[in-house]
Amino acid sequence: MKFFIVNSGSSSIKYQVIESASETVLATGLVERIGEAGGRLKNTAFPGTSDELDSVIEQPIPDHRSGMQLVIATLTDKTDGVICNVAEIGAIGHRVVHGGEDFSGSMRITDPVLQALERNIPLAPLHNPANLDGIRVAMEIFPHVPQVAVFDTAFHQTMPPRAYLYAIPYELYETDRVRRYGFHGTSHRFVAGECARLLGKQLPECNLITVHLGNGCSMTAIENGRSVDTSLGMTPLEGLVMGTRSGDVDPALHLFLKQNKGMELEAIDALLNKESGLKGLCGMNDMRDIHKAAAEGDVRAKLAVEVQTYRTRKYIGAFMAVLGRVDGIVFTAGIGENDPIVRAESLKGLEAFGIRLDPERNWQRSKEARCISAPDSTVRIFVIPTNEELAIAREMAQVLRN
**Catalytic site positions:** 152
Question: Which helix (H) or strand (E) covers residue 381, if one does?
Answer: strand 380-383
Strand pairing class (208-213; 328-332)? parallel
- 287 binds ligand AMP, rule: CB under 6 A: yes
| Shortest CB 303 distance to ligand AMP, Å | 16
Distance CA 79, CA 335 (A): 37
State the minimum distance, in angstroms, from the CB of residue 339 to ligand AMP: 4
Q: Which of 80, 275, 286, 345 binds ligand AMP (CB under 6 A)?
A: 286
77 is a contact residue toward ligand AMP (CB under 6 A): no
In angstroms, give the least distance from the CB of 265 to ligand AMP: 27
Q: Is 152 in the site for ligand AMP (CB under 6 A)?
A: no
Using CB under 6 A as the binding rule, the residues of this chain from 200 to 219 that contact ligand AMP are 214-215
Instruction: Classify burial at 311, counting beta carbons within 10 Å of its beta carbon; exposed 0-12, middle 13-18, buried 19 or more.
Output: buried
Q: Whole-angstrom Cα distance, residue 177 to residue 173?
A: 4
Element (H, E) at 217: strand 217-223
Q: Does 191 engage in binding with ligand AMP (CB under 6 A)?
A: no
Strand-by-strand arrangement of the 217-223 sheet = 226-230, 217-223, 208-213, 328-332, 380-383, 370-371
Nearest-10 crossing angle of helices 111-119, 127-141: 160
Please answer whether residues 216 and 231 qualify as being in contact, where contact means their C-beta atoms are separated by less than 8 angstroms. no
Strand, coil or helix: 394: helix
Kindly tell me which of 16 and 74 has the beta carbon lying closer to ligand AMP.
Answer: 16
Q: How far is the CB of 243 from ligand AMP (least distance, A)?
A: 5
CB 308, CB 241: distance < 8 Å: yes
Q: Taking CB under 6 A as the criterion, which residues in 227-266 touch ligand AMP?
A: 243
Asked if residue 69 binds ligand AMP (CB under 6 A), the reply is no
Out of 335, 350, 391, 397, the residue judged to bind ligand AMP by CB under 6 A? 335
> Can you tell me which of 6, 45, 222, 333 binds ligand AMP, judged by CB under 6 A?
333
Q: By CB under 6 A, is residue 389 in contact with ligand AMP?
A: no
* Interaction of residue 338 with ligand AMP, rule CB under 6 A: yes
Q: Which is closer to ligand AMP, CB of 67 or CB of 277?
A: 277
Q: How many residues bind ligand AMP (CB under 6 A)?
A: 11
| Piece in contact with ligand AMP (CB under 6 A), picked from 93-101, 156-164, 168-176, 327-335 | 327-335
Q: Under the criterion CB under 6 A, does residue 81 sit at the interface with ligand AMP?
A: no
Of 149, 235, 151, nearest to 189 by C-alpha is 151
Measured from the CB atom, the residue of 312 and 338 that comes closer to ligand AMP is: 338
Among 334, 356, 387, 397, contact with ligand AMP (rule: CB under 6 A)? 334
Which among 13-21, 41-49, 123-131, 333-341 is the span making contact with ligand AMP, rule CB under 6 A? 333-341
* Contact criterion met (CB below 8 Å) for 152 and 98: yes
How many residues make up the chain in this entry?
402
- How far apart CA 188 and CA 11 sit, in angstroms, is 26
* Shortest Å, Cβ 2 to ligand AMP: 25
Q: Is 8 near ligand AMP (CB under 6 A)?
A: no
Cα 299 to Cα 42: distance, rounded to the nearest angstrom: 39
- Using CB under 6 A as the criterion, which residues of the chain lie in contact with ligand AMP when the complex forms? 214-215, 243, 286-288, 333-335, 338-339
